[in-house]
């Protein structure tokens, strides 16, 4: 009996030191980045119990999270990102991290947009770990050098570069047909056409008529016209498979969020030496962002100490530098030394630091709308991209109608 009781005490003490973490980081660099957080936690005798759900952009992880919460098996920590964190907070599911935030002076340390994304109704409900930039054009410098080409700054230059490459038998632009990846390309084109102010208005003010704007039509038409520079037919490949293909030389350019840079680095490739990084044409000086945040799920405060330790550590300067270097994102803090970042990250961090005027929230990566609108945009854009007979104006009308219905 006594031995049994002791065992139970030991087991529960052990369990109390463990945090069950649900996230969607399964590529090589994502795994390494998660491991860097787990190592930091281990330093405080807290074990990261991994609950990774494959699927880029969290497509699967969000569904699993919902079903785990509904069945009473919520993880202790979950990768919950964007304004919908508020829905979870409103249900009383999230631990408030106000004490940690005050002790660590997060409000001063974080960029204002990041600070806003960590809060709901004046309470801190998530810890931010990194800022991703989506509007990146990766290119292969050796191919550009061979043909005397420069990374295109606008779409006219892009067309010239792409035509040149195609004539030389090189696929100009890599792309997967996975819906979220198509929509990720689209949101960069939307930003290029509209600029950050109209982009934000379209998604935030939700005036259905904005979807009928000529700039939206032009972004859709650009999306379709880019198909002629992509391999046909397009394969449905995960983004990390795409990164491997790009590293092998499948195409000369690729538009993807900078988690791709983390992945290319994990293959031993370095920015400026093995691959180049520029802004998507027409978006220099703009920052289409996705901020990764973790929220702490709590019903009985049984893991509060460990959850607070997680939050404190994840946002600390040393962990921010180590983690983000691997992940491809940049620190959420304003008080780091940018000399520590590679040129591409420095560009991202400094651009984001210019403030809201240059920032645009990613639709696909949950920064801009609720889940319903995000899913509708992805579905409509993907359908339009796959079926050439659908006119852009039909997609615009549908998105206006959906936006009205969901408002």
Residues that bind ligand GAL (CB under 6 A): 24-25, 30, 56-58, 132, 239, 257, 259, 290, 292, 365
Q: Which is nearer to ligand GAL, 109 or 291 (CB)?
A: 291
> Cβ 53 to ligand GAL, closest distance in Å?
11
Report the nearest approach of ligand GAL to the CB of residue 220 (Å).
22
Least separation in angstroms between CB 30 and ligand GAL: 6
Instruction: Quote the least distance from Cβ 232 to ligand GAL, whole Å.
Output: 25
| 49 vs 51: CA distance, rounded Å | 7
Residue whose CB is less far from ligand GAL, 155 or 275: 275
- How far are the Cα atoms of 136, 273, 372, 376 from residue 369, in angstroms, in the given order? 22, 38, 8, 11
Decide whether 239 or 275 has the Cβ nearer to ligand GAL. Answer: 239
Q: Minimum distance between the CB of residue 293 and ligand GAL, rounded to whole angstroms? A: 9
State the minimum distance, in angstroms, from the CB of residue 240 to ligand GAL.
8
Q: Tell how far CA 383 is from the center of its chain.
A: 22
Q: By C-beta, is 57 or 185 nearer to ligand GAL?
A: 57
Give the residue with the Cβ less far from ligand GAL, 54 or 112. 54
C-alpha–C-alpha distance, residues 298 and 52, integer Å: 19
Q: How far is the CB of 324 from ligand GAL (least distance, A)?
A: 11
Please identify, using beta-carbon distances, which residue of 298 and 345 lies nearer to ligand GAL.
345
Residue (of 163, 189, 149) closest to 281 by Cα position: 189
């Amino acid at each position: 009996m006594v031995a049994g009781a002791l065992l139970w005490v030991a087991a529960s003490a052990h369990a109390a030191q463990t945090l069950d973490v649900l996230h969607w980081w399964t590529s090589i660099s994502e795994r390494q980045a998660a491991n860097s957080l787990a190592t930091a936690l281990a330093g405080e005798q807290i074990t990261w119990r991994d609950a990774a759900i494959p699927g880029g952009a969290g497509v699967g992880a969000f569904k699993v999270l919902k079903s785990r919460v509904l069945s009473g098996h919520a993880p202790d920590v979950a990768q919950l990102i964007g304004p919908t964190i508020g829905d979870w907070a409103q249900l009383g599911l999230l631990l408030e991290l106000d004490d940690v935030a005050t002790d660590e002076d997060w409000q001063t340390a974080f960029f204002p947009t990041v600070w806003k994304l960590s809060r709901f109704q004046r309470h801190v409900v998530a810890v931010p770990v990194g800022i991703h930039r989506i509007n990146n054009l990766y290119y292969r410098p050796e191919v550009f050098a061979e043909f005397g080409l420069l990374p295109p700054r606008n779409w006219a230059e892009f067309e010239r570069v792409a035509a040149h490459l195609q004539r030389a038998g090189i696929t100009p632009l890599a792309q997967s047909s996975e819906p979220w990846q198509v929509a990720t390309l689209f949101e960069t084109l939307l930003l290029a056409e509209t600029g950050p102010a109209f982009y934000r208005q379209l998604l935030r003010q939700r005036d259905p008529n904005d979807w009928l704007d000529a700039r939206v039509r032009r972004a859709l038409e650009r999306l379709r016209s880019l198909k002629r520079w992509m391999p046909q037919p397009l394969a449905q490949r995960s983004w990390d498979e795409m990164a491997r293909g790009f590293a092998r030389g499948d195409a000369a350019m690729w538009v993807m969020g900078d988690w791709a840079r983390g992945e290319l680095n994990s293959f031993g490739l370095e920015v400026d030496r093995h691959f180049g990084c520029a802004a998507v044409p027409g978006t220099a000086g703009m920052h289409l962002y996705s901020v990764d945040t973790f929220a702490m799920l709590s019903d009985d405060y049984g893991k509060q100490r460990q959850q607070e330790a997680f939050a404190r550590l994840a946002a600390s300067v040393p962990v921010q530098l180590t983690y983000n270097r691997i992940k491809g994102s940049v620190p959420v803090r304003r008080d780091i030394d940018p000399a520590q970042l590679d040129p591409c990250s420095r560009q991202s961090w400094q651009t984001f630091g210019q403030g809201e005027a240059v920032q645009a929230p990613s639709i696909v990566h949950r920064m801009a709308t609720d889940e319903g609108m995000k899913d509708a945009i992805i579905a409509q854009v993907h359908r339009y991209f796959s079926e050439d007979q659908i006119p852009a104006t039909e997609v615009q009308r549908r998105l206006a109608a959906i936006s009205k219905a969901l408002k």
